[in-house]
Amino acid sequence: MNVGDPVPVFDRLNQDGERVTNIVVGKAVIYFYPKAFTPGCTGESCDFRDRWSRFAQAGYAIFGVSPDPVELLVRFKSEYELPFDLLSDEDHSMADAFDAWGAKKNYGKEYEGLIRSTVVVDDGVVTDVWHNVRAKGHAKRLTRDLEI
């Protein structure tokens, strides 16, 4: 995905097992995180939670996407009181389409996995893309970069 690319419409289950469709209509921040309840992913999600009202006032919906099953997402959303939908991408096809799945290296071992990424869209067009972001402080930097 590059700035200016059209974004395909996705149909994913949210934390409640409900289908979420047309998530790219209007403004949206879609952040991809590897695994619920891990320190980095929890911190990043809580940072988005703490800035959610700023995003909402600027007209942005927020969607967190991970390869976690719905059952884990419902607990994650509830425990951390996240005010936005978490989407299950167990087959990682959404992450693939957003270039958020690929080769990673950890402790000298290479493997395939989710690359922490954020994509901003406006009316079905990519306006900003960040890959390999640091979990800590990312939501704050995003509000600055989007001037909200």
The stretches of the chain forming alpha helices (DSSP H) are: 39-50, 52-57, 70-79, 93-97, 138-145
Q: Does the CA dihedral 21-72-79-117 come out positive or negative?
A: negative
Whether residue 46 lies in the annotated active site:
no
DSSP state of 45: H
Contact 53, 21 (CB under 8 A): no
Amino acid of residue 110? E
Candidates 41, 94, 120, 133; catalytic one:
41
In this structure, the strands spanning 101-106 and 117-122 are unpaired
Catalogue the active-site residues.
Answer: 41
